[in-house]
Amino acid sequence: MANKSITLTDDLYRYMTSVSLREPDLLRQLRAETSIDPMAGMQIAPEQGQFMALLVRLMGAAKALEVGVFTGYSALCVALALPAHGKLTACDISEAWTSIAKRYWERAGVAHKIDLRLAPAIDTLDALLAAGHAGSYDFAFIDADKGNYDGYYERTLRLLRSGGLIIIDNVLWDGRVADDRVTDADTRAIRALNEKIHQDPRVTISLIPVADGLTLALKG
Ligand SMILES: C[S@@+](CC[C@H](N)C(=O)[O-])C[C@H]1O[C@@H](n2cnc3c(N)ncnc32)[C@H](O)[C@@H]1O
């Protein structure tokens, strides 16, 4: 019996997904369309989307936030899991990538649940706080530029209700966080936030080695 997380070989990954992944056709099509983009590696893994959808349902979340939309895969997973009256505020700066996202949200019949804000996400989060949304969000997913991760974390924490959940993506950063020879700004920003959250008494945490590493931080 192992007492640490298992190493996923390609064969084991294939097995895992073959017995657990339930990816709707539309999400599979979005993945295929995104795969031709040179930045396709930014898209979350399908098993991660399924896991996030499960958490949204488990919590009964109705008001959700996303920082980093790209072509809309994670937002679509979350929006499909929200109840009929649910809302997702989705932040990005790319008109081109989010135009693909919007097409799929329409086709999935969830476009009415998603409020896309095209602006630097720090500005959008500040605007939400200024508009009185502090303490009102149930669920948030942070998956944008790493240099702003701390700023996103602090603002998102204020926007969440007590008992709300933040998921932070890429916290293992393809292993670079554990390699002392890697000292670029993005890696340093992720390391700094990981260390800060480890000691942060405002949240209950779990860092799980799904995909590129996710930190789950429960407020309060
Ligand atoms: C890793 S991708 C998001 C992947 C997405 N969650 C998915 O499921 O495919 C990061 C996104 O963050 C966006 N981004 C980068 N800097 C940003 C900023 N300052 N404000 C808002 N979005 C930003 C990029 O345009 C890109 O679409």
With bands split at pLDDT 50, 70 and 90, how would you rate the model's confidence at 1? low
How far does the centroid of ligand 1 lie from the alpha carbon of residue 75, in Å? 11
Please give the tally of structural domains in the chain: 1
Q: With respect to residue 167, please indicate whether it lies within any of the assigned structural domains.
A: yes
Q: With respect to residue 120, please indicate whether it lies within any of the assigned structural domains.
A: yes
Give the Cβ contact number of residue 200 at 10 Å: 14
Alpha-carbon distance of 88 to 105, in angstroms, equals: 12
**Could you tell me the strand order of the sheet in which 114-118 lies?**
114-118, 87-92, 63-67, 137-142, 160-169, 214-219, 203-208
- Domain with residue 178: its CATH number is 3.40.50.150
- For the CA atoms of 101, 73, 166, 66, the dihedral, rounded to the nearest 10 degrees, stands at 0
Q: With respect to residue 83, please indicate whether it lies within any of the assigned structural domains.
A: yes
Give the Cβ contact number of residue 37 at 10 Å: 15
Mean pLDDT of the chain: 98
Q: With respect to residue 1, please indicate whether it lies within any of the assigned structural domains.
A: no
Q: With respect to residue 3, please indicate whether it lies within any of the assigned structural domains.
A: no
How far does the centroid of ligand 1 lie from the alpha carbon of residue 68, in Å? 3
**Domain range spanning residue 77?**
10-219
Q: With respect to residue 4, please indicate whether it lies within any of the assigned structural domains.
A: no
Residues 89-109: tens digit of each pLDDT? 999 999 999 999 999 999 999
How far does the centroid of ligand 1 lie from the alpha carbon of residue 4, in Å? 31
Residues 154-199: tens digit of each pLDDT? 999 999 999 999 999 999 999 999 999 999 999 999 999 999 999 9
Which residue is closest in CA terms to ligand 1's atom 1?
A: 42
